[in-house]
Amino acid sequence: MSRVLITGSSDGLGLTAARLLAAEGHAVIMHARNESRAADLRSSLPSAGDMVIGDLETLDGMRLVAEQANALGRFDAVIHNAAVGSRHGRHVTKDGLEHIFAVNTLAPYVLTELIQMPSRLVYLSSNMHNSASGDLSDPQWERREWNGSLAYSESKLFVVALAFANAARRPDVGCNAVDPGWVATRMGGPGGSSDFVRGAATQAWLAVSDDPAATVSGGYFRHQAQVRANPAAYDADLQEGLLAYCAELSGTKES
């Protein structure tokens, strides 16, 4: 059985993936943004074991989560599930970073660099990443007129680029990205047409399955089938530029 860390697992797709994995006997390490969410999580999933707590919108919170995770030992897989949506206006974190970029893109970068390297990394993206161009000229939306939907789409394109970049530079690690479909989560809104189990099944499968289709690297998946991502995500220049940019923002040296 595997040990799997799932970020953003106090509700929604993260919690559903945790339930699927726990039902199969895997050890699932949960993550909550704060103590209140952790308490809700313990109520939702009484069988939850170890937990890490920290707000992934801040660099301090990212480092705190990584420290707690490392104190628990090496994981077989990490599912980068935590994300925020675009329902509000542009919000800047205490680190001076645009909120969506900080949580959706920078946090999985920092955690990947700081947590003991697992055998598998799974990055949650979205079909909306296809709406983005992969332009790194203004990722913090400091010069452009704010467009929350596009900011979210860009963050999810960058997540796929991170997965592909890590697949290239870590040949001994399975690194893949997932489109879970439009699920009616608090972030996705009530109109989602995919159910929670189907939306969470692919990331759980990629984290633990011995199926040859799940033991690949550098793939983009939807409902357990590998599909093509936005062509920009395969661009090596975008991947390297994004890695360098995230390293500079976070003060985290690429490993």
- Which residue do the tokens 């705190």 mark? 64
First to last CA, the chain: 28
Is 156 a residue of the active site?
yes
Catalytic residue among 94, 109, 123, 156, which?
A: 156
d(CA 226, CA 176): 10
Catalytic residue among 94, 109, 123, 152, which?
A: 152
* Residue 13 near residue 33 (C-beta atoms within 8 A): no
Helices marked H in the chain: 12-23, 35-44, 59-71, 99-101, 107-114, 148-169, 196-208, 236-250
DSSP bridge partners of 175? 121
DSSP bridge partners of 123? 80, 177
Structure token pair of residue 5: 């860390």
Active site positions, annotated: 152, 156
